[in-house]
Structure 1
Amino acid sequence: MTRARKSLIDLAATSYYHLIARCVRRAFLCGDDKYTGQNFDHRRDWLVKRIKLLSSVFAIDIAAYAIMSNHYHLVVKVNRREALAWSDDEVIARWQKLYSGHVVVNRLNKGKQLDRVTLSQRDGIIAQWRARLYDISWYMKSLNEYIARKANKEDNCTGKYWEGRYKSQALLDQQSVLSCMAYVDLNPIRAKAANSIEESDFTSIQERITHFKAAQNEESQATYVTKNKSENLPLQPIQLMTLYEHELAHTIPFALLDYLQLVDWSGRQLNRSKKGHLSKAAPSILSRLNIEEAQWLESIQRFRHLYSNFAGTQQCLKHHAAKNDVKWYKGAG
């Protein structure tokens, strides 16, 4: 049974979500379309650029992404507390980067005096904008509508471009965040579109590797910066959430090198033709997080199907189900 979106996005339970959207036509979002002979790789750039623009406007950070031939995956973190701390002027400035303003707000910005009723109306409008700027549905609407319009214009057609509404999974604990990020980053390898994480085009893991390698070159250090210079973190893509072993604001609590090693090892297990895949022992991060190797490998291959709208350990799923007066969540039994 389809659940109401408001019952699937529960910021009191978690701020991390796995989001998926798929093309309705099963024609190609990007890549080579064997039916038409056309190549749509440039649409990957559309998506990546739009995702990053939206994350600079919304209080929603990107932890992982993968742009595939007719669908895409995102792992995001919603920063509701950050949005609530914005000044009214910042809310207005962010909103107007994407949408036209409102006549009442514009009048006040032009220095016109407003009566008490109109001021109250203005406050209500800004409150609505603020709420939308940390709303996943508004984020996905701003992403999917933009891509659909551009693709339809390019295809010289009209109509729906995406399959119904987007799919979402709430990631209820650190283990589910880690395994979902790896699941997303390994999409090209599972689909046999790449042989290694370095070759996995239009994924966050490839972007992290590229920036990490650039950080080794002293000449590149002026170009590649982090969000947390004071913490002496490894240089990482500024438009992705920083991986750091200690919990800090706007960071994912896993060390960058641990994560790269884990995803590389996992990719070798999925691609057994890759030289050296059997010679490497499972990374130590699995034992530190008390995750069994077999359990991990199953999760990175079948994450989307192991769980439904909520993902986490059995204990976490049972607790969340009881909290929401639900008997059972997929993955708990």
Structure 2
Amino acid sequence: MTRARKALIDLSSTSYYHLVARCVRRAFLCGEDKYTGKNFNHRRIWLVERLKLLSSVFAIEIAAYAIMSNHYHLVVKVNRQQALNWPDNQVISRWYKLCRGSPIIDRYLHGDTLSEAEQLQVSELIEKWRTRLYDISWYMKNLNEYIAKTANKEDSCTGKYWEGRYKSQALLDETSLLSCMAYVDLNPIRSGVANTLEDSDFTSIQERINHFQNKANVKKSNQYEFKCQANQPRSLKPFGERVHEHTLPFSFLDYLELLDWAGRHVHQKKAGYISTNTPSIFESLKIEVVTWLDRVQNFGTHFGNFAGSQTILRAHAAKNDVNWYKGVG
């Protein structure tokens, strides 16, 4: 049953979400169309550039992404508190980067004298824009509409470009966040279009690896800065540790080791083999190896709109007055 979007995105429960949008037409979103012989790889660049622009405007950070042939995956964090702390002028400046402004706001910025009613109107507009700037639906609207219009213009056609509204999954605990990020980053390997993380084009893990290699000789003037900033792309949410604020709750090297290990097991030609040299992150998060591998390979179908441990899923279902969520056996 279709649920209202406000029932699926609950920032009081989690700020992390997995988002998926799929192309409706047979013509590929990206890659090579075997039917027409046309290559649409350049559209991947559109998506990545638009994602980064939007995340520089919205209080929504990118944790992971993968741009596939006819769909894409995102793992994002909504930073509501950051948006609430923005000064009014910063809210206006950010909104104006994407949308048309308002005559009354233009007068406010120009320093014109406003009546009490006009001042109230300015305040209401700023708060409306502030709310939208941490709203996932507005973020996805600005992403999907732009790509659809640009692709339709290139194809000289009109009509729907996406098969429907985007799909969202709330990631309710650290294990679901970790497994979902791995599921997204390993998409090209799992589908057989890449053999290694470095070859996984237009994924966040390839971008992180390339950036890490390019910055490998940066002097360690500050250990925390070196780990969480100098060696990580500014456009992606950095890895850190639980004790560090505003970072993903894992170290980048642990995550890289985990993906490298998992990639050897989810590849189509290497399925079923489990090495005894498992990454240490399994022990720290108390994750069962076989269960985790199943999640990484089948995350999209294993859970519905909410992902987490059975205990958390049951508690969240009770909170929302429903009997069960998919993923609870």
Q: Do both proteins adopt the same fold according to a TM-score greater than 0.5, normalized to the shorter chain? A: yes
Kindly state the Cα deviation for residue 205 of structure 1 after the two structures are TM-superposed: 0.6
1:313 aligns to what?
309
- Conserved in 2, the CA contact under 8 Å of 1:17 and 1:169? yes
Matches within 5 A, 1:295-314: 295-314=291-310
Distance 1:237 1:112, change over 3 A: same
**Counterpart residue identity of residue 187, structure 2:** N
Q: Which moved more, 1:180-189 or 1:239-248?
A: 239-248
Matches within 5 A, 1:165-314: 165-218=165-218, 229=225, 235-271=231-267, 273=269, 281-314=277-310
- State how far apart, in whole Å, the 2-side matches of 1:167 and 1:93 are: 30
Q: Mean alpha-carbon deviation: is it higher for 279-288 or for 79-88? A: 279-288
Q: How does 1:54-69 map to 2 (within 5 A)?
A: 54-69=54-69
Partner of 1:49: 49
The letter for the 2-side match of 1:256 is F
Whether the aligned pair in 2 keeps the contact of 1:265 and 1:280 (CA below 8 Å) is: no
Q: Where do residues 80-159 of structure 1 align in structure 2 (5 Å cutoff)?
A: 80-159=80-159
- Are the counterparts in 2 of residues 172 and 311 from structure 1 also a CA contact under 8 Å? yes
| Separation of aligned partners in 2, 1:101 and 1:43 | 29
Q: Is the contact made by 1:244 and 1:256 (CA closer than 8 Å) also made in structure 2? A: yes
Structure 2 distance, partners of 1:102, 1:8, is 31
For residues 269 and 321 of structure 2, what CA distance do their matches in structure 1 show?
Answer: 47
Question: Secondary structure at 1:251's aligned position in 2?
Answer: coil
Shift of residue 249 of structure 1?
A: 2.9
3-state SS of the aligned residue for 1:216? coil
Query: Can you give the 5+ residue segments of structure 1 that lack an aligned partner in the other structure?
Result: none
Matched residues in 2 for 1:231 and 1:188: separation?
27
Change in Cα spacing, 1:56 to 1:267, as seen in structure 2 (3 Å) is same
What is the CA–CA distance in structure 2 between the aligned matches of 1:150 and 1:49, rounded to whole Å? 13
Task: Kindly indicate whether the alpha-carbon contact (under 8 Å) linking 2:228 and 2:238 is maintained by their aligned counterparts in 1.
Answer: no
Q: How many residues align?
A: 326
Q: How does 1:32-43 map to 2 (within 5 A)?
A: 32-43=32-43
Offset at 1:246?
A: 3.1
The two structures, once aligned, show a CA RMSD in angstroms of 1.9
Spell out, residue by residue over 1:242-273, the C-alpha distance to the aligned partner (whole angstroms, 9 max, x if none): 11123433210101100000011100011264
Do 2:228 and 2:239's aligned partners in 1 also have CA atoms closer than 8 Å?
A: no
Instruction: Read off the aligned partner of 1:229 and give its amino acid letter.
Output: E
TM superposition shift of 1:281: 1.6
Q: 2:63 is paired with a residue of what secondary structure? A: strand
Q: Is the Cα contact below 8 Å between 1:245 and 1:254 reproduced in 2? A: yes
Q: What SS does the aligned partner of 2:62 have?
A: strand
The partner residue of 1:328 within 316, 324, 327 is 324
1: distance between equivalents of 2:287 and 2:230? Answer: 26
Q: Report the residue type matching 1:299 in the other structure.
A: R
Quick check: 280-289 or 249-258, which moved more? 280-289
Report the TM-score when normalising by structure 2. 0.95
Relative distance call for 1:230 and 1:184 in structure 2 (3 A) is: closer
